[in-house]
Amino acid sequence: MSNVQIPLAEMRSIYRVADVERALEEPSSQRNESLSAYYEKMRKLGGERYLVKPSSLTGLDPLYESCPNFGPVIDDLKKYLALAVSGNEPMHFTPILLLGKPGIGKTHFARCLAQALGTHHEFVPMNSLTAGWVLSGASSQWNHAKAGKVAQTLIDGEYANPVIVLDEVDKAGGDARYDPMGALYGLLEHDTARHFKDEFVDINIDASHVLWVATANDDAPMPEPILNRMNVYEVPPPDFDQAVAIATALYQDIVREHDWGFSDDAPQSVIDKLAGLPPRDMRKTLLAAFGNAKLDRRDHLLPADIDAVRHQRGKPRMGF
């Protein structure tokens, strides 16, 4: 019998349609066309979104297999899960900061967490942020202004409690006048996040149910007030046995997702080859290896399929 846990959901208002209609009644000279169009979309979509609630104390257990080097993080998250199930409430946890070397699976863990909770995840590469408005929007008075990532995720998505991943948050930079971290001071606090106001949308949005996961290689560049709002975890690289578990889980996930004719169980020699790679590289290597096998008219992988991908990636890039 399958051990699938089905999350429950209720509807929760993240903004009031009456506020949107009131904004639309203001003279059009006070807003640009893109804002008017966005208000119309908000009115059409309505302010209700799914608020997912966990249904079982074992809902996070698959993470121990798919992300074995994140055991202490999962252990702590299960405490919040127990409270949510006990109170028949949505799961809420203190924002998480995952510290560790590149490629150890931090972003993969956040994706798996969202999947386990039955909600959406939004990936925000903080190393590309040069201004705070990427998270919290820019005033509609600016040319080409638009809503920030938080408002977009909540308004355009289906869920009131998505997982938002702030990747490489220690590399956020830019003009000090437009601090990319500035919006987080309010967003990471539950009470102030209930009345989040995107600079573009300029209407109160309830962002208090967002589940925050940040990743970083080093916490030294980060402001102390931000760190104080987070639970910080040092994540080690997986050892060989953990890497084998990650590779096995990834192989099985890909095989289940596609009807390519491969066996549910990979040869151990292939898994051992994959285990020598950083978790970040395993999925793309596997996909290319499956392609190598199909080009060779095979429905099973060989260690040579992995070696061929690694050899190709080791070659210098062609330039024109």
**pLDDT tens column, 241-291:** 999 999 998 999 899 999 999 999 999 999 999 999 988 899 999 999 999
Which residues make beta-bridge pairs with 215? 98
pLDDT value, residue 171:
81
Residue 176 has pLDDT above 60, yes or no: no
Q: Give the three-class secondary structure for 127.
A: helix
Q: Is the pLDDT of residue 148 over 80?
A: yes
Q: How many percent of the chain have pLDDT more than 70?
A: 90
Q: What is the pLDDT of residue 145?
A: 82
Q: Is 111 exposed, middle or buried (0-12, 13-18, 19+ CB in 10 A)?
A: middle
pLDDT at 4: 47
Report residue 177's pLDDT band, with 50, 70 and 90 as the boundaries: low
pLDDT confidence tier of residue 7, bands split at 50, 70 and 90: low
Binning the chain into helix, strand and coil, the percentages to the nearest 5 are 45, 15, 40
Nearest 5°: the CA angle 254, 313, 165 is: 55
- Percent of the chain with pLDDT strictly greater than 90: 67
pLDDT on residue 86: 94
Structure tokens at 57: 């104390």
Predicted model pTM: 0.84
pLDDT at 133 over 80: no
Alpha carbons 186 and 96: distance in angstroms, whole number: 16
Listed residue (45, 99, 308, 61) closest to 213, CA to CA: 99
Q: What's the confidence (pLDDT) of residue 316? A: 46
E strands of 84-144, at which residues?
Answer: 96-99, 121-125
pLDDT surpasses 50 at 320: no
Residue 249, φ and ψ in degrees, nearest 5: -65, -40
Contact 173, 130 (CB under 8 A): yes
